Amino acid sequence: MVKANKPKTDDLSALPKAATPEVRLDLKTGIEIIQEYHKDLPNKPGVYRMIGESGQILYVGKAKSLKKRVATYARGAAHTNQLTRILGQVKSMEFTITHTEAEALLLEANLIRRLKPRYNVLMRDDKSFPFIAIGLNHPSPYLAKHRGPRSKGIDYFGPFASGMAVNHSLTILQKAFMLRTCSDAEFENRSRPCMLYQIKRCAGPCVDAINPHDYRELVDGARLFLRGKTNALQDDLAQQMSEAAKVLDYEKAAILRDRIKALASIRNSQSLNPQSFTDADVFAMHQEGGETCIEVFFFRAAQNWGNRAYFPRSEKGTSENDILESFIGQFYQSHPPPDLILLSHELENTQVLEDALTMLNGGGARVNLINPKRGDKKDIVDFAMNNAKQTLGRRLSTSATIGKILDQVGERFGLEKRPERIEVYDNSHIQGTNAVGAMIVAGPDGFMKNQYRKWSIKDAGGGDDFAMMREVLTRRFTRLNEESDESLHPDLMIIDGGQQQLAVVLDAAKEMGIDDIKIIAMSKGVDRNAGREEFHEFGKAPYRLEQKDPVLYYLQRLRDESHRFVIGAHRQKRGKELVKNPLDSIEGIGPLRKKSLMARFGSAKGVASASVKELSETPHISQDLAIRIHAHFQSE
């Protein structure tokens, strides 16, 4: 038996979250604790977790043999500075035994991504990638951008590096294959074709402008294109165009010509055209100035579907091999890997990582990791590496500038150190309706958009800005009291407003026991001109900064970003309200009954004008429910 004070390891949600504790080093005690665990460990693969004084996860690691790996920690000598620091904080350990080293690698990556231990390499930006979806679960399949979980009956193509890359490809696909992009509800309620049909971006299946067989051929063509069968597809279209011209069907020939041009435009616009592979991901890593940049390129259907730069967090002295291996393991936790992965560096555990990624591939072909030495694969990796160098250079330049400004911000507001996390709060509403509160976050790396938050304000108080601000900050303070990760605690909070808003927030902070965060308010001043902003602090009279002060310019940017974000959230909420179906507010009306009513009466307006008898004759609608629906619309 392995002695460990641990929850059931199969339940990952039961594990404590990572945190950044106040460091108290006791190397002798830490090594003694590890030696006790080492006595009973098996000579089997698995994952271990080093746990600190407050239950926070310090480090997650994997091993081919848990006993041999922990023995290296138990020796008590020849450790690096980083490892000495970790061992000096260890109070307990937890272990999970796996069948293979590949399983251990996958579990390690999963735990690192979930728990975010302080001393592991962290991917940091884990935003999901967009895909192109073709909905085959409908007689007239649709074309759409997709993020999130997958559903049965839908064909997914991707990932794409960004929403912009997806939108560009969708435009090309609309021109080339004219598939519908409307929702199923819009499709079923169409009585005449939309604008996309008029500009030849849709074949019009909603109004039977194309027969189902021909539309299905368009769908199959789009799927072939997204799988890289471009040449065969273009040859087939060229043959069809030639045949149409022979029989003098010039209108059809022109349409086919435009489709061929659309397909050719994608390849012509590519600066990278791989010849020796169709699908691959490319990872290029560059280190400079204590920072690491990993540039990831996506190639699908022999096309470049975009790239994204990452800046993983790692402790000083972590090897390039460990950074890249850990990053790749975390990267593929959210989507399956392609069969080919090209790397800028040779990895030590290539075989184990290939085994692990093949398991993630869902039973597909074996995943191969290659560090190419020649040919077009090498050229593409070199291109990605050049991008990584340039991206990191720009980041270091920007970080140096932001670092100086943050030092000045800390001095201006009397902080003990440079603020690593600044939160800015704002509200948006129209006379209390669709009220939304929002928080943006900034730090040494610029805007931290994956940390932005928005709240639907439950009690808008008839447009009472003070009550809304109190509600938003109370909810935020509640979360802070529950949060164990110190990196998520702000050094500075900025409230959009004046002295009264500040008083409300300080009162809420006092009630919640928050007394270690600097809170200020920023208002536009009496003349409401940019550059004349007034700042409010507890116990001080309102004051202004010099108009040319870089701190003022920086804070204006933060304020403007909070305005942009909260107004966007408000408009999104208001837009949903405008298109909300009145049937959604009637108790007992779920998706099935709603679909049945819309199919029979065409719209909510048609349902509203229907009699109880007509309603009760609708499938799935009982007499009692028909009476309730009728009464609902009559009361309105």
Q: How far from the centroid of its chain's Cα atoms is residue 608's Cα?
A: 41
Q: Do 100 and 173 share a domain, yes or no?
A: no
Query: Has residue 12 got a pLDDT over 50?
Result: no
CATH value at residue 599: 1.10.150.20
User: 């305005």: which residue's tokens?
Assistant: 563
CATH value at residue 329: 3.30.420.340
Average per-residue pLDDT for the chain: 84
Q: Do 293 and 358 share a domain, yes or no?
A: yes
Selection from 314, 315, 317, 324 nearest residue 285 by Cα: 324
In a domain, 4, yes or no: no
Q: What pLDDT does residue 7 have?
A: 35
Q: What is the pLDDT of residues 221-252, one digit of tens each?
A: 888 888 877 666 777 778 888 888 888 888 77
Of 542, 570, 598, the residue that ends a domain is: 570
Element spanning 63, H or E = strand 57-63
Q: Do 304 and 220 share a domain, yes or no?
A: no
Q: What pLDDT does residue 596 have?
A: 82
**441-450 own/partner pairs: CB under 8 Å, 24+ apart:** 441/490, 442/558, 442/561, 443/406, 443/419, 444/399, 444/402, 444/403, 444/406, 444/418, 444/420, 445/311, 445/395, 445/399, 445/402, 446/398, 446/402, 447/561, 448/421, 450/125, 450/126, 450/127
Q: Do 379 and 490 share a domain, yes or no?
A: no
Q: How far from the centroid of its chain's Cα atoms is residue 190's Cα?
A: 34
- d(CA 295, CA 286) in angstroms, rounded, equals 9
Give the Cβ contact number of residue 222 at 10 Å: 23
In a domain, 592, yes or no: yes
In a domain, 575, yes or no: no
Element spanning 174, H or E = helix 163-177
Q: What pLDDT does residue 4 have?
A: 41
Q: What is the pLDDT of residues 501-534, one digit of tens each?
A: 999 999 999 999 998 899 999 998 655 556 688 9
Q: What pLDDT does residue 61 have?
A: 92
- d(CA 193, CA 205) in angstroms, rounded, equals 9
In a domain, 124, yes or no: no
In a domain, 576, yes or no: no
In a domain, 411, yes or no: no
Q: What pLDDT does residue 384 have?
A: 94
More confident residue, 623 or 229: 623
More confident residue, 279 or 422: 422
Cα 538–Cα 543–Cα 549 angle in degrees, nearest 5:
120
- d(CA 517, CA 512) in angstroms, rounded, equals 12
Exposure class string for 382-395: b at 16+ Cβ within 10 A, else e? ebbbebbbebbeeb
Residue 447 is part of which domain span? 422-570
Confidence of residue 291 (pLDDT cuts 50, 70, 90): confident
**Tokens describing residue 548:** 């040319």
- d(CA 560, CA 542) in angstroms, rounded, equals 21
Query: Has residue 20 got a pLDDT over 60?
Result: no
Q: Do 389 and 483 share a domain, yes or no?
A: no
In a domain, 577, yes or no: no
Q: Which residues contact 215 (CB under 8 A, 6 or more apart)?
A: 140, 203, 205
Side-chain-facing half-sphere of 138: CA atoms under 13 Å: 23
Q: Do 546 and 624 share a domain, yes or no?
A: no
Of 570, 603, 622, the residue that ends a domain is: 570
More confident residue, 274 or 136: 136
Number of domains within the chain:
5
Q: Do 550 and 590 share a domain, yes or no?
A: no
CATH value at residue 90: 3.40.1440.10
- d(CA 631, CA 80) in angstroms, rounded, equals 75
Q: Do 59 and 147 share a domain, yes or no?
A: no
Q: Do 140 and 244 share a domain, yes or no?
A: yes
User: 């991917």: which residue's tokens?
Assistant: 123
**Tokens describing residue 371:** 């560090």
Selection from 416, 395, 420 nearest residue 406 by Cα: 420
- d(CA 4, CA 38) in angstroms, rounded, equals 11
**625-631 own/partner pairs: CB under 8 Å, 24+ apart:** 625/588, 625/589, 625/593, 628/586, 628/587, 628/588, 629/583, 629/586, 629/589, 629/597
Sequence letter at residue 181: T
Q: Do 330 and 376 share a domain, yes or no?
A: yes
In a domain, 414, yes or no: no
Q: What pLDDT does residue 176 have?
A: 81
Q: Do 587 and 564 share a domain, yes or no?
A: no
- E strand segments, 311-459: 340-343, 368-370, 422-430, 433-443, 446-447, 453-456
Q: Ranked by mean pLDDT, which of 380-384, 574-578, 586-590 comes out on top?
A: 380-384
Sequence letter at residue 510: K
Is the four-CA dihedral 441, 446, 451, 456 of positive or negative sign? positive
Q: Which residues, listed in sequence order, are joined to residue 288 by a DSSP beta bridge?
A: 291
φ and ψ at 255, to 5 degrees? Answer: -60, -45
Give the Cβ contact number of residue 441 at 10 Å: 20
Q: What is the pLDDT of residues 402-412, one digit of tens each?
A: 889 999 999 99
Q: What is the pLDDT of residues 191-202, one digit of tens each?
A: 888 889 888 889
Q: What is the pLDDT of residues 395-404, one digit of tens each?
A: 888 888 888 9
- Secondary structure letter of residue 291 according to DSSP: E
Q: Do 439 and 566 share a domain, yes or no?
A: yes
Q: Which residues, listed in sequence order, are joined to residue 97 by a DSSP beta bridge?
A: 46
8 A C-beta contact, residue 148 and residue 128: yes
Q: What pLDDT does residue 10 have?
A: 39
Sequence letter at residue 389: K
- d(CA 206, CA 606) in angstroms, rounded, equals 20
Kindly state the average pLDDT of the residues 566-592: 77
- d(CA 228, CA 339) in angstroms, rounded, equals 15
Query: What separation in angstroms does the CA of 294 have from each of 311, 349, 374?
Result: 6, 19, 21
Kindly state the average pLDDT of the residues 440-458: 90
Q: What pLDDT does residue 269 have?
A: 53
User: 């601000």: which residue's tokens?
Assistant: 469
Q: CA torsion 346→350→356→359, rounded to 10°?
A: 100
Of 353, 372, 393, the residue that ends a domain is: 393
Q: What is the pLDDT of residues 155-179, one digit of tens each?
A: 998 888 888 888 888 888 888 888 9
